[in-house]
């Protein structure tokens, strides 16, 4: 049956299938509109068409975009630090969504903004944006199954001990400050893998690689604080949030105006071609400058 082909061969969710039923010419078999209980046989041509969508609630706004990859189904953007991904209360313009919607209008595309994942405002790096609900569903399922490879670079205080390992510590809202997250018994399962790349200033700072198994809010920032290596420049979870920012740390806080975190690698299987794709984004200029400052001091390999 049509339903079996959609579920088993294409992985279409029930929610999306319901939308296809209501879409004009959403499902056709050999050129004729059908329902999901229609029988199919070898040689039949089953076509799936999704209605065109656009983000009417997002104002198009010209914005420089570092587009790493784009095709008919998805867009990969290297987000600058200081840019919010999606409009929120009080931030209706100046977001990545505003710039992307403008970009699509310039290309003559009618597309709804559907980020597969998000980055904090001050985190730079790769963001995947789906151009239709099927691609969004497929990539979201890959993410939930841990099949999307997200790797980060970060600069932290101190040097992790051991130099590489896994932080498996549950995260939830801080009961006393709900806008913050904290490692807490009974929280949501959260797993972060890390590896030290370089140690600077006799162990006073380090550059690390990180890979996420889960995607909790502020996960890297919370886990690094949990092991005693908060991110340089982190105003919520680092030295920048306390009076401990003094001496060498004060120098580093002044050198970077945001948490030193960059989404450097993004890998996934393209839902249409079924080919594995991997993208890289080099460290942005501000983190390159921070690294030069760290290298200028005593360094331990």
For the chain, count helices (H), then strands (E): 7, 16
Facing residues of 149 across strands? 267
Catalytic residues: 120
Phi, psi of 136 (to 5 degrees): -65, -45
Long-range contacts for 95-100 (Cβ within 8 Å, ≥24 apart)? 96/63, 96/127, 97/55, 97/58, 98/58, 98/59, 98/60, 98/61, 98/63, 99/61, 99/62, 99/63, 99/64, 99/65, 100/65, 100/75, 100/129
- Which tokens in the block code for residue 96? 């990545």
Phi, psi of 27 (to 5 degrees): -130, 120
28, 46 contact by CB (below 8 A): yes
CA angle 253, 175, 243 (to 5 degrees): 25
Please, how many CA atoms are within 13 Å of residue 10, restricted to the half-sphere of its CB? 17
Long-range contacts for 116-119 (Cβ within 8 Å, ≥24 apart)? 116/140, 116/143, 117/143, 117/148, 117/150, 117/215, 118/85, 118/86, 119/79, 119/85, 119/263
Please, what's the largest Cα pairwise distance for the chain? 74
- Which tokens in the block code for residue 182? 């904290």
């Amino acid at each position: 049956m049509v339903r079996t082909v959609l579920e088993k061969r294409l992985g279409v969710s029930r929610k999306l299938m319901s939308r296809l039923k209501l879409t004009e010419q959403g499902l056709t078999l050999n050129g004729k509109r059908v329902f999901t209980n229609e029988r199919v046989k070898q040689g039949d041509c089953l076509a799936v068409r999704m209605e065109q969508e656009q983000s009417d609630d997002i104002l198009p706004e010209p914005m420089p975009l570092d587009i790493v990859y784009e095709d008919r189904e998805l867009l990969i953007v290297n987000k600058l630090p200081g840019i919010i991904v999606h409009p929120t209360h009080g931030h209706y313009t100046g977001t990545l969504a505003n710039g992307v919607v403008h970009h699509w209008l310039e290309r003559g595309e009618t597309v709804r903004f559907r980020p597969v994942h998000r980055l904090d405002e001050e985190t730079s790096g790769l963001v995947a944006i789906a151009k239709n609900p099927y691609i969004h569903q497929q990539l979201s399922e890959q993410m939930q199954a841990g099949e999307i490879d997200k790797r980060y670079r970060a600069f932290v205080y101190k040097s992790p001990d051991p130099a590489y390992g896994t932080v498996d510590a549950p995260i939830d809202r801080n009961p006393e400050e709900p806008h913050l997250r904290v490692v807490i018994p009974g929280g949501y399962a959260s797993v972060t893998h890390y590896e030290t790349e370089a140690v600077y200033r006799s162990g006073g700072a380090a550059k690390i690689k990180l890979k996420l198994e889960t995607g909790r809010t502020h996960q890297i920032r919370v886990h690094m604080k949990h092991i005693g290596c908060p991110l340089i420049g982190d105003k919520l979870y680092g030295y920048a949030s306390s009076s401990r920012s003094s001496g060498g740390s004060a120098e580093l806080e002044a050198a970077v105006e945001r948490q030193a975190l960059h989404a450097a690698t993004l890998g996934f299987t393209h839902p249409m071609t079924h080919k594995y794709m991997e993208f890289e984004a080099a460290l942005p200029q501000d983190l390159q400058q921070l690294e030069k400052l760290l290298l200028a001091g005593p360094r331990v390999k």
